[in-house]
Chains A and B, each alone.
Chain A
Amino acid sequence: MSVIWSIARGTFKESMQKKIMWVFFGIALLIIGLSFIFSYFSPSEELTLIKSIGLGIIYLFGVLIALIITAGLIPTEIERRTIHTVLSKPIERWQFVLGKFLGVALVLFMNMMLMAIALLIVVMSKGSARAEGFFKALVTNSRILEATLLLFFYLLILCAFAILFSIFSTTNISITLSAFVFIIGSLSDYVADIIKLSHNPLTSLVLKVLHLIVPNFGNASIYNSVIHGYIPAGEARYVLMAIAYSLAYCLVLMLLSTWIFAGKEV
């Protein structure tokens, strides 16, 4: 375990030194911070806009950070030949892959949570705290953190895909393939609706299978309820199931990655 943790820490430090990540992070914070431009809307509209755009920015920049940081991890090690040094030590290949994954997960978690806290501060400072009282407003708006946490778990699936693709391809191809998976996975939520509209049993069956197998990034989206301030019945159960889904998906992808990486000549 200490080996995996060492690799994860190394990956975390290395990723934090990448300028591109800080550029993305900075832009995201800037956009969230600039939400005061909505002050000409009525208070409820203003909060709706801030929350929706804020969560959208967290999601979008989370995707960018996940793709760009993760896809380059293993190909860079191979190109620089530093992988030989690492694997010459008593480190199993699966430990290397898992360590890389955990490292990038830490980077993503830190980035997304900092963005979510920035959004929470903006929302609280926009009168929400004054209207409801500080603690009540904090509890109500802490669902921003809950929504971000769920997004984080689903972006882990994207990271796992990026690692899987990067094992047998270049950084650019890995980014492209992962982005493709992300787009397809984002459509899965709508496929569920299309199944209901379809009258052809064969089409329905094919769509149903696709819907159940393709990673459904739509599961991560609870932000409509966060933006408009309603809590659907059985929320805790839903969130737990959605997290379990993402972890199961990550496990499948990690198994495949370690399997392929074990047989790869480096």
Chain B
Amino acid sequence: MSGTAKRVILLVLCILLIIVLQMKIDVYRPKYKPGETVSLGYISREVLATALMGLREVAASLLWMKIEDYFHSGEHEKIPPLIRIITWLDPHFVEAYSSGAWQLAWNSEDWRLIPSAEAFLEEGIKNNPDKYELYADMGWLYYDKIKDYDKAIEWYKRASALKSPPQVRRMLAHSYERAGKIDEAIKIWKKLIEEGKKEVERNPKNFEAIFNRDVAIHNYNMCIIRKIDRAALAKRPKPYYLSFKVYRVSPRILQIRAKTNLPELSRIRVSLVDEDIAERKKKSLGWQLMNETEYIDVWPQVRKGEMKTDIDLTDALKYPLKGERFILTISLLPQTQPVVVQDVLGWLGEGMAGGDVVVIHSSPPKKKVEKSAILTLNDITGQQTALIKEVK
């Protein structure tokens, strides 16, 4: 066989080897790629060029630095779309999901973006199922914003099943407490105390371990005290009342004035939504405000038996008021109250009965105070100052 023939055979064999290897590599490749190639609609050419050169993570990091600039210059509205691009470039950038959800649910100060924050975290969890951070973020979203403590428990449980710091289980215990499942909370505090003590014995100079142990001891003691005190509330429940008036101060500006015997510092939820919200509500990641159905969700405090808050709907872009009838709801759920208020009302309303108190049939049963009124478009947009509704 001539030298040329040998070379050709060697070349062909090498090329076949390359093809076989590439086919085998393709099986493993998805584990290393930042994410699938998907269309994003809008993206700058510079970022795309960098991304296509195999430097997606670098592009994501550079954009992340830009977010820092926007945050400090107060251009917060530019942040969510940029974070969307970052997570597209690098779906394993957990901090981007975390920060994006925070921008939407907390920093935007627009409660209508909470479903978007939730959907965003869901996407992050799907892309990073082994990272506890996003499960914990979802738990905090339900705990602090949505105030659905049973859901918060679910998410914190999932976070604590992964490798996570003690604060995740601390939040799980707090969620149990808020949900009225006090014995479950006590179990967790006990376990955290045991673990903390062992850790301090192992390393007596570890400040973090000492802190974790002491926090668990404090919370355990508080739980025991509250369990005894709040159980006693059920033996002498008190009736609570709430009445309110709605004034139109000027077109699209309402004032709510409530009178109540609910404890000082109670947080009353005031919400205004379209009457047909249930049909139109959709959870979406399209960054679209749900501004055609939902308007206000504020939590003013009770001071000296009164609660007063203004509802300003003058920004027609933000509050288009496309419906004809709106539901104004004034409510109090003991679960969501500050600790000092819960000391009077109980975790789930153990200290409440009669008056305007209603029972929610759940397991365990909860109590709440809730009143609502239907407002028409004319009630809100009318010209003259007037008392437009009174609910006793």
Contact = CB atoms under 8 A, between A and B. Distances in A.
Contacts of A192: 26, 29
B355 interface: no
B88 interface: no
Contacts of A87: none
Nearest to A60: B55
Given A183-B53, A228-B92, A56 B32 contact: no
Interface in A205-233: 211-213, 216-225, 227-228, 230, 232-233
Contacts of A211: 22
A213 B19 contact: yes
Contacts of A225: 31-32
A249 B18 contact: yes
B159 to A, nearest CB: 16
Interface string A171-205: 00000000000010011011011100100000000
Interface stretch (A13-21, A40-48, A120-128): A40-48
Given A190-B37, A212-B23, A224-B90, A248 B64 contact: no
B18 A252 contact: yes
Given A59-B55, A194-B37, A225-B32, A238 B61 contact: no
Interface in A30-45: 38, 40-42, 44-45
B18 A245 contact: yes
A224 to B, nearest CB: 5
B54 A252 contact: no
A92 to B, nearest CB: 12
Contacts of B58: 52-53, 55-56
B45 interface: no
A259 B93 CA distance: 47
Q: Which of B18, B62, B65, B68 has the most CB of A within 10 A?
A: B18
A245 B25 contact: yes
Nearest to B53: A186
Contacts of A38: 65
Contacts of A255: 7, 10-11, 14
Nearest to A228: B92
B28 interface: yes
Contacts of B10: 251, 255
Interface in B281-305: none
Interface residues of A, number: 55
B25 A241 contact: yes
A237 B28 contact: yes
Please classify how large the interface on chain B is, using the bins under 10, 10 to 19, 20 to 34, 35 or more: 35 or more
A227 B25 CA distance: 21
* Dominant secondary structure of chain A at its interface with chain B: helix
A242 interface: yes
Contacts of A40: 68
A229 B55 CA distance: 17
Contacts of B53: 183, 186
Nearest to A40: B68
Interface in B219-270: none
B25 A242 contact: yes
A44 B14 contact: no
B22 A44 contact: no
A248 B14 contact: yes
A56 B57 contact: yes
A59 to B, nearest CB: 7
Contact of A219 (B14, B29, B31, B34): B29
A189 B92 CA distance: 18
B121 interface: no
A49 interface: yes
A256 interface: yes
Nearest to A50: B61
Contacts of A212: 18-19, 22-23
A228 B33 CA distance: 12
Contact of A52 (B11, B19, B60): B60
Interface string B29-44: 1011110110000000
A209 to B, nearest CB: 9
A48 B95 contact: yes
A216 B24 CA distance: 13
A43 B60 CA distance: 17
Contacts of A52: 57-58, 60-61, 90
A117 interface: no
B28 A49 contact: no
Contact of A232 (B31, B64, B65): B31
B317 interface: no
Given A56-B57, A186-B53, A248-B14, A232 B7 contact: no
What are the nearest 4 A-B pairs in CB distance? A56-B58, A232-B31, A193-B37, A52-B57
15 contacts: A45-B64, A48-B95, A52-B57, A52-B58, A52-B61, A52-B90, A56-B57, A56-B61, A189-B33, A192-B26, A212-B19, A241-B24, A244-B17, A248-B17, A251-B14
Interface of B: 7, 10-11, 14-15, 17-19, 21-26, 28-29, 31-34, 36-37, 52-58, 60-62, 64-65, 68, 90, 92-95, 130
Given A212-B23, A244-B21, 6 more contacts: A56-B61, A211-B22, A212-B18, A223-B57, A234-B28, A255-B7
